[in-house]
Structure 1
Amino acid sequence: MYNHAPSDYICPVCLLIKGNDNPLSKQADIVYKDEFIMAFICANWKVNNPGHVLIVPNQHVENIYELPVDLSNQIHAFEIDLAKAFKEVYRCDGVSSRQHNEPAGSQDTWHYHLHVFPRYRDDNLYKSPSRRSTPEERKPYADLLRGYFGYSDATTS
Structure 2
Amino acid sequence: MFNHEPPDYPCPFCLLITSGENELISRHDVVRQNERATAWVSPRWWPNNHGNVLVVPNAHYENLYDLPPAWGHAVHDLVREVAIAIRHTYDCAGVSTRQHNEPAGYQDVWHYHMHVFPRYPDDQLYNSLHLRDPVPAEARRPYVDRLRRYFDERGSLTDS
Task: Give the drift of 1:8.
Answer: 2.1
TM-score (norm 2): 0.91
CA displacement, residues 42-92 of structure 1 (integer Å, 9 cap, x when unaligned):
111001000000000000111001111111111111222211111111011
What amino acid maps onto 1:141 in structure 2?
Answer: Y
Who is 1:143 aligned against? 145
| Stretches of structure 1 lacking an aligned partner (at least 5 in a row) | 152-157
Name the SS of the counterpart of 1:5 in structure 2: coil
Equivalent in the alignment of 2:13: 13
Aligned to 1:68: 68
Rounded Cα–Cα distance in structure 2 between residues aligned with 1:9 and 1:23: 17
Please name the residue that 1:155 is paired with: none
Alignment partner, residue 41 of structure 1: 41
Alignment partners' CA distance in 1, 2:128 and 2:102: 23
Aligned position for 1:88: 88
Deviations 1:94-127 (A, max 9, x none): 1100000011111000000000100001101111
Shift of residue 33 of structure 1? 0.6
Separation (CA, whole Å) in 2 of partners of 1:109 and 1:136: 24
Structure 1 outlier segments of 4+, above 4 Å: none
Q: Distance in 2 between matches of 1:103 and 1:27?
A: 27
Q: Which residue matches 2:79?
A: 79
How far has the Cα of 1:21 moved from its partner? 0.6
Q: Which has the higher strand share?
A: 1
Structure 1 residue 129: deviation in Å? 3.4
Q: What 5-or-longer segments of structure 2 have no aligned partner?
A: 154-160
TM-score (ref. length: structure 1): 0.92
Matched letter for residue 41 of structure 1: V
Q: 1:133 aligns with which of 135, 150, 157?
A: 135
How far apart, in 2, do the equivalents of 1:83 and 1:60 lie? 23
Shift of residue 11, structure 1, vs aligned partner: 0.3
Local SS of the residue matching 1:66: coil
CA RMSD for the aligned pairs? 1.2
Whole-angstrom distance in 1 between the partners of 2:111 and 2:23: 15
- Other structure's SS at 1:110 match: coil
**How big is the shift at 1:23?**
2.8
Aligned length: 151
SS in 2 for 1:78: helix
